[in-house]
Chain A
Amino acid sequence: MKPVFTYTNGMLPVSTHYCPGCTHGIAHRLIMEVLEENGKLGQAIGVAPIGCSVMAHQYMNVDMCEAAHGRAPAVATGIRRVHPDKVVFTYQGDGDLASIGMSEIIAAAARGERFSTFFINNGIYGMTGGQLAPTTLIGQRATTAVEGRTKAQFGMPIKMCELLAQLECAVYVERVALNSPANIRKAKKAVQRAFAVQEQGLGFSFVEFLSTCPTNWGMTPSDALKWVDEKMIPYYPLGCLRDPEKEASK
């Protein structure tokens, strides 16, 4: 009999601490699956952030380093310089990457560091309990914005892909969503492209995953998936902003 679904060797056979309905597990699996399919698990070095995925190194079955809040791109820069031939990636949430770590991510992208960053955007601080994130949508409630985000008080949510795509050396930039099987298949293709661009030595690669946080959004997992479609995607449009292949064919 042919198995239709198995564990990936890229994930350790343990259950995660993520809440029911959280899409971190999907993102973890996609990245690890691609590394496994590429035969690169044993040559990969990942950098885990601070935030809900602080324990990613307990799930991802590759060598890993834990970084201080927001500093994963700097840590990955150091790792990359020592091991120019390995596969290096960071996995970061929106508070980590788009707030406290903004300087590190922009600088790494501007330098065209040859690693891949996987960015989980769920529009909220998960681990600390639902505070406003730099990516929280207008009107979205947070424990530090109980009436919902207003432009007057907090400004507008940051679109990281659009920001980074302006940098010459951020050669691959794509936004995907993890809220439907079709979108997840597209997300996997983006992960594959990111690693391919890295291996070709073309520059910095970046994939933003629109993700859910049913717990802090105060929704059921299925409502959360719908909310991504109805609220997030209209503000954070899906698609590829930079790809060396497309740019070459222009």
Chain B
Amino acid sequence: MTEKVLMKGNEAFAEAAMRGGCRFYFGYPITPQSEIPEYMSRELPKRGGCFVQAESELGAINMTYGAGAAGGCVFISSSSPGIALMQEGLSFMASAEVPAVILNVSRCGPGIGGIQPGQADYFQATRGGGNGDYHIPVFAPYNMQEAVNLIYEAPSLAYKWRTPVIILADGMMGQMMEPVALPPEKPALEAKDIASQADWAITGYDDRGGPQNRRVVKSLRLQPEALEEHVEHLFARYAKAAPEFTRYEAIGLEDAEIVFVAYGTIARLTLEVMDMLAEQGIKAGLIRPISLWPFPEEAFDKIGPATKVVISAELSKGQLLDDVKRAVCGRFPVELIYRTGGIIPTSLEVTEKAKAILEGLQ
């Protein structure tokens, strides 16, 4: 195994993206992820890559769209309100099938909100904040190693499936330090190889034998039938890609009285809650979605007959809950434990609330 290093989350994320082959970063400073553009501005040029401090997140996402359309391997990052500004570009990229990896080191909203960690961007990420019929795969790691592994893998998934990929982390993960094993450096795609490797990339048609092979990257389709056909095409590809993107961890579902559903930072805390409940003789299980879209509905089929309640534990006001209810589909009662405003509940608080829910059912 690779030797572990102790790194700040944001720097580990940036390092993982570069090791995964990303060579272009376009960003705008925003707390709590500003260490990423700082790190990229230092490290990317050393690897022959390119860093641009954009005029805004709108500028950044459109540079990403341009670089991705040109076949470049792009990784960008921002935080909640910055990601909100990027939605226009994400909708364009989803339609034009331009790959890139977008990291949201989220804070809490609405509006400018606060800078403490939150998960209230769940709808923004999974429902798409941009216009139109599209989806973007979303991964939500719960610790540093998982985040590093997912960011490292994401560029190749984005390239393979010609889609933006969102990584949803939070301010706590960005700011904390934890030992991680960094994966080995993947070879980066060089400009001269783009034309032969990226079959959508605009590079000038001389690279492809002449004007008969001219390429256009676009989302405009004024003919309703053509647009409908394109939407169907996008969704057929989502269906084909789903097995590769759908990921989750299921713990102790067979005989659990309480099944928690939680992702990211709160999932981590839920592990402690499960221990605390076990000490009091209550068996709790966990479904931890690693992909938020596609949502791992199949995990819910593994919930055993002993389960009395499924609890969505989240740092948002019942956003994950929507998908949990859909996946449970009436088979079990579904309840919510949450905090907002950037407050992370204590494990004791979650334990007490879960116990109260359980007692309320009896």
Contacts and interface: CB of A to CB of B under 8 A. Distances in A.
Contact of A104 (B62, B71, B202, B207): B62
A54 B221 CA distance: 11
B26 A78 contact: yes
A29 B229 CA distance: 33
A45 B69 CA distance: 11
Interface in A206-229: none
- Give the most central of A63, A68, A79, A80: most B CB within 10 Å: A63
B204 A63 contact: yes
Contacts of B218: 48, 57, 64-66
B63 A42 contact: no
Given A44-B204, A45-B70, A84-B191, A62 B214 contact: yes
B211 A71 contact: no
A140 interface: no
A62 B66 contact: no
A82 B191 contact: yes
A87 B56 CA distance: 25
B260 interface: no
Contacts of A143: none
A63 B62 contact: no
B50 interface: yes
Which of the four size classes fits the interface of chain A? Answer: 35 or more
Given A65-B202, A81-B72, A86-B204, A42 B191 contact: no
Interface residues of B, number: 43
B346 interface: no
Interface in B196-243: 202-207, 210-211, 214-220
B205 A62 contact: yes
Contacts of A81: 24, 50, 52, 63, 67, 72
Contacts of B54: 74, 107
Given A54-B220, A82-B72, A103-B56, A63 B191 contact: no
A158 to B, nearest CB: 18
Given A54-B220, A55-B220, A103-B59, A78 B70 contact: yes
B55 interface: yes
A151 interface: no
A244 B55 CA distance: 26
Interface in B11-39: 24, 26
A173 interface: no
B68 A78 contact: yes
Given A42-B205, A81-B50, A61 B214 contact: yes
A75 B191 contact: no
Given A55-B220, A78-B72, A82-B194, A61 B211 contact: yes
A93 B287 CA distance: 52
A47 B66 contact: yes
A45 B217 CA distance: 11
A65 B66 contact: yes
Contact of A41 (B191, B211, B215): B211
B88 interface: yes
Contacts of B215: 63-64
B56 A82 contact: no
A135 interface: no
Nearest to A63: B202
Interface in A14-59: 41-45, 47-48, 54-55, 57
Contacts of B64: 78
A107 B55 contact: yes
A68 B220 contact: no
A111 B191 CA distance: 22
B89 interface: yes
Contacts of B70: 45, 65, 78-79, 82-83
B58 interface: yes
A9 B24 CA distance: 34
B62 A74 contact: yes
Nearest to A9: B211
B343 to A, nearest CB: 35
B122 interface: no
A65 B217 contact: yes
A87 B204 CA distance: 8
A9 B206 CA distance: 14
19 contacts: A41-B205, A42-B206, A44-B204, A45-B203, A63-B204, A65-B69, A66-B217, A71-B62, A71-B89, A74-B55, A75-B69, A76-B66, A77-B66, A79-B69, A79-B70, A81-B24, A82-B72, A103-B55, A107-B55
Nearest 5 CB-CB pairings of A with B: A78-B66, A42-B206, A78-B67, A107-B55, A74-B62
Given A42-B207, A63-B215, 5 more contacts: A48-B218, A57-B216, A63-B205, A79-B67, A82-B70
